[in-house]
């Protein structure tokens, strides 16, 4: 640092132009030019719609008319709408089905595949590969697994002379069917997050443990798991935020049925705003989803910030 200071001080007079380093970083309006293009799109396509949506949620509006002010009427109608309450429950149920499974299976895979062998590398590639597919392909694949007659599941059950569970049409199984397809689709991310956390644990701790004759279970319990505790919380929160936004799988596999039992909040918003064209109520529902997700995002911010403090 001292060297650089002297270089700068001696170089500046030599060029003959004074470049006082304090002034290079002084605020200047023309520097704004670099961030202006992005801020234009950010303001018009994110900030404006965000407030526009809040405004819509207190209006009775359809696509082309801005509607009339109805106060909190849309929200009152929402909390009295059985279908909306069902969709909130469905979303929580879906989160409960998928998030713990994703975290635990992801952790298990990461622990098993955290080694430098070729097989482990191939398996890591395999388990992440489904994550790059679109929701359309994933649902197509899983519908063909579940479908009666030519489905994979019914074929396998057929070998044993049994009837496969009706994962899409049975009311008590439909959401579980969607959850299984979702876990299959999303398992790559938690696995990768755990893997990168595992790789950050210093190797010498393990060497010390080996010298102390610690067995594998002890090592796992007293070194590995405590070291990745924060990653575990982070994975849980990230998945809660992601799975809260369930839409494509439910829409494409079950259309929210049977009896709205697999209709999540986002599908309710889609139905209300873009099929019944009740934009005000759709906006109100999306504000409620926004608050729920914001709470989870705040938790994520707090967890990641703590990480910075400790580092």
Partner 1 sequence: MSAPSNSIKGRAFGDRMLLALVILLSIIMIAPVLWVIGLSLKENAELMANPNSVFHAPYTLKNYINTIGTSSVFRWVLNSIIVSGGLTLGTLILSSLAGYGFARLNFPGRNILFVIVLFGLAVPEQAVLVARHQIFSMLKFHNTYHGLILPGLSASFGVFLMTQYFRAIPKELDEAAMLDNASRFKIFWKVLLPLTVPAQATLGIFTFLGAWNDYFWPLISATKKDMFTLTVGMASTQTNFAQSEGIGFLMAQAVFAGAPILIIYLFFQKYIVTAVSGAAVR
Contacting partner 1 within 238-297 (CB under 8 A): 238, 241, 245, 247-248, 252, 266, 269-270, 273-274, 279, 282-283, 286-287, 289-290, 293-294, 297
CA distance 176 to 170: 10
Question: Which stretches of 122-255 are assigned E, i.e. beta strand?
Answer: none
Torsion of Cα atoms, 257 then 258 then 260 then 265, to 10°:
-40
Q: Which of 32, 170, 200, 220 binds partner 1 (CB under 8 A)?
A: 32
- Cβ atoms of 91 and 172 within 8 Å: the answer is no
Residues 44-83 that bind partner 1 (CB under 8 A): 44-50, 52-53, 55-56, 61, 63-64
Q: What's the rounded Cα separation, in Å, for the pair 113 and 117?
A: 9
Which of 173, 192, 198, 214 binds partner 1 (CB under 8 A)? It is 192
Given a contact cutoff of 8 angstroms between Cβ atoms, the answer to whether 280 and 61 are in contact is yes
The three-point CA angle 193-198-201 to 5° equals: 135
Residue 56 CB, shortest distance to partner 1, in Å, is 6
To partner 1, the closest distance from the beta carbon of 253 in angstroms equals 10
Q: Does 229 bind partner 1 (CB under 8 A)?
A: no
Contact predicate 249/182, CB 8 Å = yes
Size of the site for partner 1 (CB under 8 A): 106
Nearer to partner 1, 31 or 259 (CB): 31
Residues 79 to 118: which contact partner 1 by CB under 8 A? 105, 108-109, 112-113
CB of 170 to partner 1, least distance (A): 18
């Amino acid at each position: 640092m001292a060297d650089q200071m002297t270089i700068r001080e001696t170089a500046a007079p030599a060029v003959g132009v004074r470049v006082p380093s304090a002034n290079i970083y002084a605020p200047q309006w023309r520097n704004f030019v670099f961030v202006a293009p992005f801020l234009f799109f950010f303001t018009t396509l994110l900030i404006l719609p965000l407030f526009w949506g809040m405004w819509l949620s207190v209006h009775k509006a359809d696509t082309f008319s801005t509607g009339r002010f109805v106060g909190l009427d849309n929200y009152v109608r929402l909390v009295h709408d059985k279908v909306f309450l069902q969709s909130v429950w469905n979303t929580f149920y879906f989160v409960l089905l998928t998030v713990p499974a994703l975290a635990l299976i992801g952790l298990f895979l990461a622990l098993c595949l955290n080694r430098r062998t070729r097989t482990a590398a191939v398996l890591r590639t395999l388990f992440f590969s489904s994550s790059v597919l679109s929701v359309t392909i994933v649902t197509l694949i899983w519908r063909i697994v579940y479908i009666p007659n030519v489905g994979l599941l019914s074929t396998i059950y057929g070998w044993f002379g049994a009837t496969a569970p009706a994962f899409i049409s049975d009311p008590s199984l439909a959401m579980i069917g969607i959850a299984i397809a979702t876990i299959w689709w999303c398992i790559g991310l938690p696995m990768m997050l755990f893997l990168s956390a595992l790789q950050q644990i210093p190797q010498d701790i393990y060497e010390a443990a080996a010298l102390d004759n610690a067995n594998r279970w002890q090592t796992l319990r007293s070194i590995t798991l405590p070291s990745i505790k924060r990653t575990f919380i982070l994975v849980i929160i990230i998945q809660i935020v992601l799975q809260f936004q369930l839409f494509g799988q439910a829409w494409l596999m079950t259309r929210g049925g049977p009896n709205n039992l697999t209709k999540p909040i986002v599908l309710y918003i889609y139905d209300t705003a873009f099929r019944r064209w009740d934009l005000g109520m759709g906006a109100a529902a999306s504000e409620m989803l926004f608050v729920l997700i914001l709470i989870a995002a705040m938790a994520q911010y707090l967890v990641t910030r703590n990480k910075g403090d400790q580092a």
